[in-house]
């Protein structure tokens, strides 16, 4: 299953295709549309389906271009009228395109795949268009989906957070997401620090659903843009034997639920996606915009940010949500100035002194053990990571002696039955603490711990990676006299200095407190 897009142009991409693939693209577009919208249809998580979530009109346009070229070459077609069932019976005009459209790496991977499938057709064709040495072994580049599921339709009115979570298909909000959504719904600007893959984009979707009006979503391109589309020649029509038009067979015809889902796709989009480098030519929507989201805000160029400030003013000044993975206070000040944030709410890990930037500096091994026992007693269940297996076993024994249910987990040479029993007790929530040596993190289960306690990690890199892997509600580093200098300096520093040193969602800064 695939929609071939060798170039960032729907028409040119269809002209490129050989007859065999052109005919199949009509049917595959039809299949992907059903997978996207029919409630009980299969293939919903296939990457060729995921990449089109939220962009059904553009996919309909792609399918119609394939059908148009198919009939121009002399073949009969009955697919086009059925594709119009997803667009209210009319062909979409300038439909919004996905965020990945125009990404050179993606289009190049499609050209490579086509060359691999039929070198006799595509080799001379690509050579005539200036690519005689096009590689034929590049894997498909599957872009990220804009939505966690589809359809995502909340209407243009404000929804409550629990209802918006249901629309997105989430059982519960991840840490900080509900706070972000409520702040945006109250008209506040928000600065969210979120590492890629930790729910930053989902927080923006949630905020959009709980805020009345449309959501304008601005993001930089995922990579270099494709060059201008070359003049693709029109293939000559070939003699085709006459056929009797018919209706292509379906696995099953659409029922009332499927027809309703198809009709819903002709409604106005609730989320409007625009690439930051196209803001100069972007035409503002006619309806009200209740929220502006800037994803990967630190990658947006200064001139594009200035254009967004002007556009935001023209839209009536809706609240602004910036999502970034940079926690450095200096970079925070740049974002404030560049985007014109107004008294924003801070969310995420970068500037939360009670969260991932927490640290305890002690002067003795005894004080280090005492601090660990106190923290585990206050925040249970806890994952405790020690620098060695011997230290982990001593910590587990100390916690047990203090009346806390603790067990040590370690890879071999620890007996497998003992390690398995400790992990099973942890997953069943029969332990207050699971203690383990560094570098040996087991699968902890879906529910994260209340506390991650790092006992003198070897480096800030190790600590940052551990925080990201465990996903605890609170993460505390304890540094005693045996801690490495950079770890000891981090623990002794103030909140802002720790943010600079750790730069929780980026690379460690060379600056010192």
Q: Tens of pLDDT along 401-438?
A: 999 999 999 888 888 888 899 999 998 899 999 999 99
- Structure confidence at residue 90 (pLDDT): 95
CB 509 within 8 A of CB 328: yes
pLDDT, residue 469, reads 79
**3-state class (DSSP) for residue 454:** strand
DSSP, res 225:
B
pLDDT, average across residues 457-481: 83
Radius of gyration of the chain (CA): 27
Assigned token pair, 316: 């009536």
pLDDT at 230 over 80: yes
Secondary structure of 131-199 in HEC code, one letter for each residue: CCCCCCCCCCCCCCCCCCCCCCCCCCCCCCHHHHHHHHCCCCCCCCHHHHHHHHHCCCCEEEECCCCCC
Cα angle vertex 197, ends 196, 203, to 5°?
Answer: 90
CB-based burial, 412-436: b 16+ in 10 Å, e otherwise: eebeeeebeebbeebbeeebbbbbb
Is the per-residue pLDDT at 380 higher than 70? yes
Flag whether pLDDT at 196 surpasses 50: yes
Decide if 244 contacts 318 (C-beta within 8 A): no
Burial zone of 151 (CB within 10 Å; 0-12 exposed, 13-18 middle, 19+ buried): middle
pLDDT at 155 over 90: no
**Residue of 86, 113, 75, 95 whose CA lies nearest to 10:** 95
Those residues whose C-beta lies under 8 Å from the C-beta of residue 436, and which sit 6 or more positions away, are 383, 384, 385, 386, 392, 408, 409, 410, 442
Residues with Cβ within 8 Å of residue 382, at least 6 apart in sequence: 375, 376, 432, 433, 434, 449, 450, 451, 452, 453, 472
CB 383 within 8 A of CB 449: yes
pLDDT for the residue 162: 94
Q: Which helix (H) or strand (E) holds 217?
A: strand 214-219
Q: Report the 10 Å Cβ neighbour count for 115.
A: 21
In the chain the domains, ranked by start, together with CATH numbers, are 10-146+225-264 (no CATH), 163-172+180-213+271-348 (3.40.50.300), 358-502 (3.40.50.300)
pTM above 0.85, yes or no: no
pLDDT of residue 495: 57
pLDDT (0 to 100) of residue 358: 76
- pLDDT tens profile 327-355: 666 778 889 999 999 888 887 754 333 34
Q: What is the pLDDT of residues 12-69, one digit of tens each?
A: 999 999 999 999 999 999 999 999 999 989 899 899 999 999 999 999 999 999 999 9
Q: Which of 244, 301, 294 is nearest to 274 (CA)?
A: 294
Which carries the bigger pLDDT value, residue 328 or residue 356? 328
What confidence score (pLDDT) does residue 327 get?
62
Which residue carries 């640290």 as its tokens?
Answer: 359
Cβ pair 140, 113 in contact under 8 A: yes
Q: Closest by alpha carbon to 277, among 315, 313, 303, 309? A: 303
pLDDT band at residue 238, thresholds of 50, 70 and 90?
low
Which has more pLDDT, 207 or 252? 207
Structural contact between residues 155 and 209, judged by C-beta atoms closer than 8 angstroms: no
Within 10 angstroms of residue 186's Cβ, the number of other Cβ atoms is: 12
pLDDT of residue 233: 85
Closest CA to 376 of 474, 444, 460: 474
Position 497 scores a pLDDT of: 54
Average pLDDT over residues 484-500: 71
In the predicted structure, residue 500 carries a pLDDT above the cut 70:
no
Quote the longest CA-to-CA distance of the chain: 90
Task: Return phi, psi of residue 309, to 5°.
Answer: -60, -45
At a CB cut-off of 8 Å and minimum separation 6, what does 182 contact?
A: 161, 210
- As given in the structure block, the two tokens for residue 163 are 């209802």
Q: What is the pLDDT of residue 216?
A: 98
* pLDDT band with cut points at 50, 70 and 90 for residue 468: confident
511 falls in which pLDDT band (50, 70, 90)?
very low
pLDDT value, residue 510: 29
341 phi, psi to nearest 5 deg: -65, 140
| DSSP element (H, E) containing 383 | strand 382-386
DSSP codes joined into one string, 19-45: HHHHHHHHHHHHHHHHHHHSTT-S-TT
Catalogue the long-range contacts made by 250-255 (C-beta closer than 8 Å, 24 or more residues apart): 254/38, 254/85
**Which pLDDT value is given to residue 357?**
56
Separation CA 321–CA 184 (nearest Å): 7
Tell me the average pLDDT across 121-136. 95
Confidence category of residue 242, pLDDT binned at 50, 70, 90:
low
pLDDT higher than 80, residue 237: no
Average pLDDT rounded to a whole number, residues 469-485: 86
Q: Which residue, chain included where needed, has tokens 């930790």? A: 198
211-228 as b/e, with b when 16 or more CB fall inside 10 Å? bebbbbbbbbbbeeebee
Mean pLDDT of the chain: 87
């Amino acid at each position: 299953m695939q929609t071939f897009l060798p170039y960032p142009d729907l028409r040119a991409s269809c002209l490129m295709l050989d007859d065999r693939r052109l005919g199949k693209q009509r049917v595959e577009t039809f299949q992907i549309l059903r997978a996207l919208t029919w409630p009980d249809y299969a293939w919903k998580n296939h990457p060729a389906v995921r990449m089109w979530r939220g962009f059904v009109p553009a996919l309909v346009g792609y399918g119609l271009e394939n059908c148009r070229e198919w009939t121009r070459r002399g073949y009969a077609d009955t697919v086009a009228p059925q594709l119009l069932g997803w667009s209210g019976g009319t062909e979409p005009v300038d439909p919004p395109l996905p965020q990945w459209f125009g990404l050179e790496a993606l289009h190049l991977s499609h050209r490579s795949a086509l060359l691999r499938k039929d070198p006799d057709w595509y080799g001379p064709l690509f050579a005539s268009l200036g690519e005689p040495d096009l590689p034929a072994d590049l894997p498909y580049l599957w872009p990220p989906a804009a939505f966690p599921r589809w359809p995502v339709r909340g209407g243009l009115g404000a929804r409550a957070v629990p209802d918006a979570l249901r629309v997105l298909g989430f059982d519960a909000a991840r840490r900080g997401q509900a706070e972000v959504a409520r702040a945006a719904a109250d008209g506040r600007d928000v600065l969210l620090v979120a590492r890629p893959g930790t729910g930053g984009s989902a927080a923006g979707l949630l905020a959009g659903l709980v805020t009345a009006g449309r959501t304008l979503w601005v993001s930089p391109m995922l990579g270099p843009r494709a060059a201008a589309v070359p003049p693709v020649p029109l293939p000559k029509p070939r003699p085709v034997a006459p056929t009797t038009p018919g209706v292509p067979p379906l696995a099953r015809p659409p029922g009332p639920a499927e027809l309703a889902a198809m009709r819903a796709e002709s409604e106005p989009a609730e989320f409007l996606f625009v690439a930051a480098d196209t803001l100069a030519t972007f035409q503002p929507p006619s309806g009200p915009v209740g929220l502006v989201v800037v994803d990967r805000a630190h990658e947006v160029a200064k001139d594009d940010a200035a254009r967004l400030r002007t556009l935001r003013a023209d839209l009536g000044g809706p609240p602004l949500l910036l999502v970034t993975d940079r926690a450095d206070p200096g970079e925070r000040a740049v974002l404030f100035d560049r985007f014109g944030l107004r008294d924003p709410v801070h969310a995420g890990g970068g500037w939360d002194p009670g969260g991932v930037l927490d640290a305890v500096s002690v002067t003795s091994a005894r004080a280090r053990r005492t601090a660990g026992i106190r923290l585990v007693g206050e925040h249970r269940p806890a994952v405790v990571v020690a620098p060695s297996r011997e230290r982990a076993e001593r910590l587990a024994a100390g916690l047990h002696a203090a009346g806390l249910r603790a067990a040590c987990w370690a890879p071999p040479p620890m007996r497998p039955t003992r390690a398995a029993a400790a992990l099973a007790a942890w997953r069943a929530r029969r332990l207050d603490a699971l203690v383990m040596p560094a570098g040996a993190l087991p699968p902890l289960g879906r529910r994260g711990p209340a506390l991650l306690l790092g006992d003198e990690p070897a480096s800030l890199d190790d600590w940052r990676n551990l925080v990201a892997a465990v996903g605890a509600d609170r993460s505390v580093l304890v540094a005693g006299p045996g801690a490495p200098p950079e770890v000891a300096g981090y623990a002794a520093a103030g909140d802002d200095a720790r943010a600079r040193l750790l730069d929780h969602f980026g690379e460690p800064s060379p600056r010192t407190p």
